[in-house]
């Protein structure tokens, strides 16, 4: 799991990091041996780090830029990013712990916590399959600050652990994490974090007539699963649940609409939406948030096989809608549709689904954020604010009613693609067809899996959505 977070009453540590912003901060006693260097460095445009070896300790000074009209969330992200870079330095020094503090009130408590968050996120590794493991050394992050409580650090630790759970799941190759194995993981996590789980297997899925989930599964030798996760504490503020739906295609070849080889690499991460929902439930339950939450995770792989769907097939969904399948690589919306219909049984306050759904969304946002669309008006702004707070940012894309006209079919009720224009919006309109409640859709195709390191994120799965959903659940109906 992520590094331990501990409050300390002593700044005596062999490795120390101090956050500063102004010349006044340089007066801090720990900084006196390098005050002359910091005085010059703090006025440079780029600012940055100062690394210094003292007589009996090592110190890293993080120089935060001047506020200059930046929002609190932007300042927090700057600090989070600096923390991610610091994690690399700590491990290069082979240190097992670091003590983090701020030199003065020019640096806020939220910036300090964000830096700690960045250090921990930046400390993540997935080296399970490496014979020679270059294991990170950092194990403990000590926090020297009167305004930060151990309870706050414990809460943050639970969120970071949950993000790591999601990343590990999405980084796992399908040879070791198919739909059945994913459901086993969900059951084990439910026991560990104290939320209920129910796994629906193929016979139950057939009885529910989930034609989308079954159809995508036709080409696979591994049966599908449909996992229900439920956390309903006695003090929940909401009687009607917040329902989170996560796409969990454990591997996506594209089916007979086969992906090119270069696009198929990384498709183990096509279950990142499901991983985010799993991680969010773990964090919410661990921190005993007073909110009733249900997670729904349809899962299968999408392979080529003798019985696999082919373009021109027509399938019937669990709500009776007939769907003309024109592209078997547009499979995520098929399994999500059955889950969205299933969500109706809860009469939900709100449903949020997360999915690595379309390349079109990734083109719009890149790795910098996710595309947002849907029908809800009550909670939309709160979700966007939470996305800015966590810097798992959302951007609303055009979602006009005309996009719905593009998925009308000549031979069935609707078709599963709408053409080249507005690919992410037509996918959203397809999903909307199966909703009768307030609903928001997050297309996380851009930020879910990285090809290069970014500040506190490493190549591979990012666990995007976990921190966002937790922040939203914490503020939900408050």
Among residues 7, 65, 259, 459, the one annotated as catalytic is 259
DSSP 382-429: HHHHHHHHHT--EEEPP--THHHHTTB-SSSSEES---STTHHHHHHH
Q: Phi first, then psi: give them for residue 390, nearest 5 degrees.
A: -90, -10
- Helix 466-475 and helix 272-286, axial crossing angle in degrees, nearest 10: 40
CB 195 within 8 A of CB 230: yes
Catalytic one of 41, 80, 102, 333: 333
Catalytic residue status for 333: yes
DSSP 447: T
Does the annotation count 259 as an active-site position?
yes
Radius of gyration from C-alpha coordinates of the chain:
23
Q: Can you say whether the dihedral through the CA atoms of 190, 194, 195, 199 is positive or negative?
A: positive
Give the dihedral sign, CA 315/173/428/238. positive
What proportions of the chain, in percent to the nearest 5, are helix, strand and coil? Answer: 40, 20, 40
Q: Give residues with Cβ within 8 angstroms of 25, minimum separation 6.
A: 31, 102, 103, 104, 106, 107
Asked if residue 145 lies in contact with residue 112, where contact means CB atoms within 8 angstroms, the answer is: yes
Distances (CA, A) of 233 to 160, 236, 241, 263, 296: 22, 5, 11, 42, 18
Query: Any idea what the Cα angle at residue 13 is, between residues 11 and 18, rounded to 5°?
Result: 60
- Contact between 120 and 136 under an 8 Å Cβ cutoff? The reply is no
Cα 347 to Cα 282: distance, rounded to the nearest angstrom: 23
- Phi, psi angles (nearest 5°) of residue 474: -65, -35
CB 478 within 8 A of CB 288: no
Exposed / middle / buried, residue 396 (Cβ in 10 Å: 0-12, 13-18, 19+): exposed
Q: Coil, helix or strand for 257?
A: coil
CA distance 333 to 323: 11
Q: Which residues are catalytic?
A: 259, 333
């Amino acid at each position: 799991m992520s590094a331990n977070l501990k409050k300390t009453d002593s700044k005596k540590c062999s490795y120390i990091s101090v956050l500063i912003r102004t010349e006044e901060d340089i007066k801090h006693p720990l900084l006196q041996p390098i005050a002359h260097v910091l005085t010059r460095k703090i006025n440079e445009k780029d600012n940055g780090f100062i690394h210094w070896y003292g007589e009996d300790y090592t110190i890293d000074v993080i120089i935060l830029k001047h506020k200059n009209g930046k929002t609190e969330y932007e300042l927090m992200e700057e600090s989070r990013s600096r923390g991610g870079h610091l994690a690399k330095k700590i491990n290069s020094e082979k240190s097992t712990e670091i003590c983090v503090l701020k030199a003065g009130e020019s640096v806020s408590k939220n910036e300090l916590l964000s830096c700690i968050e960045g250090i921990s996120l930046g400390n993540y590794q997935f080296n399970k399959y490496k014979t020679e493991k270059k294991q990170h050394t950092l194990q403990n992050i000590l926090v020297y600050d009167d305004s930060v409580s151990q309870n706050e650090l414990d809460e943050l630790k639970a969120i970071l652990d949950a993000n790591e759970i999601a990343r590990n799941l999405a980084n796992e190759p399908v040879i070791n994490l198919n739909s059945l194995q994913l459901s086993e993981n969900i059951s084990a996590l439910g026991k560990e974090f104290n939320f209920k789980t129910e796994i629906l297997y193929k016979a139950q899925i057939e009885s529910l007539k989930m034609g989308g989930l079954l159809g995508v599964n036709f080409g696979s030798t591994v049966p599908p699963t449909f996992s229900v996760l439920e956390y309903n504490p006695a003090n929940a503020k909401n009687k009607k649940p917040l329902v989170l739906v996560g796409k969990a295609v454990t591997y996506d070849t594209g089916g007979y609409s086969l992906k090119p080889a270069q696009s198929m690499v990384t498709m183990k991460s096509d279950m990142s939406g499901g991983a985010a929902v799993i991680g969010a439930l773990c964090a919410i339950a661990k921190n005993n948030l007073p909110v009733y939450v249900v997670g729904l995770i349809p899962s299968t792989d999408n392979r080529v096989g003798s019985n696999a769907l082919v373009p021109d097939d027509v399938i019937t969904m669990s709500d009776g809608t007939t769907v003309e399948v024109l592209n078997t690589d547009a499979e995520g919306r098929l399994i999500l549709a059955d889950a969205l219909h299933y969500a109706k049984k809860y009469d939900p306050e709100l449903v949020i689904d997360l999915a690595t759904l379309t390349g079109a969304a990734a083109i719009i946002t890149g790795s910098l954020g996710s595309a947002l669309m849907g029908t809800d008006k009550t909670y939309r702004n709160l979700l966007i604010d939470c996305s800015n707070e966590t810097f798992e940012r959302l951007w609303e894309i055009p979602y006009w009613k005309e996009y719905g006209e593009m998925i009308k079919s000549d031979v069935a009720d609707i078709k599963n693609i709408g053409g080249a224009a507005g690919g992410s919006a037509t996918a959203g309109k397809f999903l909307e067809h199966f909703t009768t409640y307030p609903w928001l859709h997050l297309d996380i195709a851009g930020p879910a899996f990285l090809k290069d390191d970014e500040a506190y994120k490493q190549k591979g799965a990012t666990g995007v959505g976990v921190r966002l959903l937790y922040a939203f659940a914490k503020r939900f109906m408050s």
